[in-house]
Amino acid sequence: MATASVLVLSGCFSDGGSAGATDDSLGPPLKVTQIGFPNEIALVWALNKGIFAKHGIAVEPVTLASAASAVAAADSGQVDLAFSGGWGAIVAASQGVKVKIVMGAYFNPTPPDPERSRGVFASTKSGAKAYCDLVGKTVGVTELNGPGQVYTSAAVRKAGCDDTKIKYVNIPSAQMATSLEGGAVDAINASGAIGQTLVRNGGAVWLGEPYADVQGRINYANYVGSEKFVAENGDRIEKFRAAMDESISQIKDPANEAEWQTMAAEFGKTTVEAIRASQFEELSSEVDASALQTMADIAYEFGAISQKVDTSGLIYERA
């Protein structure tokens, strides 16, 4: 089992969200990973609003450089719950890692808004205007054989074209825009914040949103724990889920829109304007069992995993 990358620990949050000593009556804090994405707002809001303490649990956020090491950190016991895509849990399960998805975090927004959505963006210089135009082109993705690549290929194949003739290259998210503008790639699979800015500036066209175009709704992000931890901590997990559900409910209250957007922007080191300009994910604690299985089947079909995964065993059932 590969070990997780170095973890950067942040302070344990108590009521009001300020870092400080944990209330001993809440027991040891639940260590939960975070990356720094604005769409992790449910966790951030709950921490800052003291919602976890209200539900009788302490939570200590653990910051990782990326989600890639999150499941490994949970499996090794370095953290209790990992913020990870449904894809990450599926890949781990295919490698024999015993994990459980304890709750969802968010789904991709559907239907995609052509002027605000994430997806595949092609350089205007490439001449690409549809998925099939990517054949013979170079496409930048943040993870080779990851969901961005696989679903882009699936979209091209669904359109009736040969996806095997696309060249994929790994590009960090922060370098996506400059790579497309500089001609290093013909297209990118990127967030709306990156891609739609290029479109507005006249440098790119939006070809579509492969997740929605291929599958519809996907379990974009979840919280995952090791089978052992989940089996031994059902009560703590239920408290965590209840607190997160309340957090999501508060965020969806229109009266809190300006506040949560400001909080998300500060956490994600972006701006409120950028958040409003892109299509935000559908916050939800739900785990869509059918959508998760479809994702696993697509991962196997396109060679991202070497064996089929029955995802029914991945989902934690409420006691």
- For 237: left if phi > 0, alpha if psi spans -120 to 50, otherwise beta; the answer is alpha
pLDDT at 19: 38
* Sheet strand arrangement including 282-283: 82-84, 221-226, 99-107, 282-283
Distance separating alpha carbons of residues 12 and 243, to the nearest angstrom = 16
pLDDT at 72: 93
Residues 6+ apart with CB under 8 A from 273: none
Q: Which two tokens stand for residue 44?
A: 């951030």
pLDDT lower than 50: segments of the chain = 1-21, 319
Q: Maximum CA pair distance of the chain?
A: 62
Cα 234–chain centre separation: 24
Q: 171-176: list long-range contacts, CB under 8 Å, 24+ apart.
A: 171/140, 171/141, 171/142, 172/142, 173/142, 176/140, 176/142
Q: How many CB atoms lie within 10 A of CB 302?
A: 16
Distance separating alpha carbons of residues 251 and 242, to the nearest angstrom = 14
3-class state of residue 100 by DSSP: strand
pLDDT at 68: 78
Distance separating alpha carbons of residues 87 and 83, to the nearest angstrom = 12
pLDDT at 25: 85
**pTM for this structure?**
0.88
pLDDT at 22: 53
Distance separating alpha carbons of residues 19 and 28, to the nearest angstrom = 15
Q: Which residue has the tokens 């991945």?
A: 314
Q: What are φ and ψ of residue 279, in 5° steps?
A: -80, 115
* Sheet strand arrangement including 204-208: 167-170, 138-141, 187-190, 119-123, 204-208
